[in-house]
Amino acid sequence: MAITYENVTSLDPAGAAWLVEGKSDQATPVPIRFYLDGVPAGELQAPAGKFQIVIGPYQDLEVLDRACQVARPAFPARWTLYWPAVSGTVYYRIDELVGATWTERARITDLGQGHFVWRTGVLLDTVAYQFRVVPVFAGGLEAAAISFSATMVRRPDPPRVTFSYSSASGKVTIS
């Protein structure tokens, strides 16, 4: 029932894609299921018990190798904002409240879709965030903003730990 991650390799200099390689200790062939941010992302029969999957930065990867296993609850590091189309909109401006200032994060052109999706950058754990989507019409006229706000709850980043050893005192200091 153990999955071992053997190698994690960056596929590009920006770190936007990572290759994760690993293996299972189950009898072969092994049915392997992948979950990214708690959502099923694929499955395979691994004849040698080995697998590879490509993930993005800050994605929560879970690999299961038994049919009876259930994926754990996911707490992704990003929000996905959804909103319906507003008739006559040329584009949508997505703003984030930073301090007391609305800061533009993206623009999405309205090409006749019925709804829109935008994903935030990585958000800090236990911090309150506010976003708004502003429909902008021809001539720069803006409609009422669609507001989004909540406190981010996600798996926290692993702590950064350093160790030092003093030969004089024989003590190890962890900080």
**CA 25 to CA 38: how far, in whole Å?**
23
Strand partners, 95: 104, 132
Share of the chain above pLDDT 90, in %: 45
The closest of 8, 165, 112 to 174, measured between CA atoms, is 165
80-151 placed in CATH 2.60.40.10: yes
**CA 115 to CA 120: how far, in whole Å?**
17
Tokens describing residue 40: 């099923």
Q: What is the pLDDT of residue 1?
A: 53
CATH 2.60.40.10 domain range(s) in the chain: 80-151
Reported confidence tier of residue 155, pLDDT bands at 50, 70, 90? confident
Q: What average pLDDT does the chain have?
A: 90
Model pLDDT for residues 45-66, shown as the tens digit of each residue: 888 888 888 888 778 889 999 8
- Mean pLDDT along residues 100-120: 95
Bigger pLDDT: 29 vs 105: 105
- The model's pTM: 0.67
Q: Three-state DSSP class for 140?
A: helix
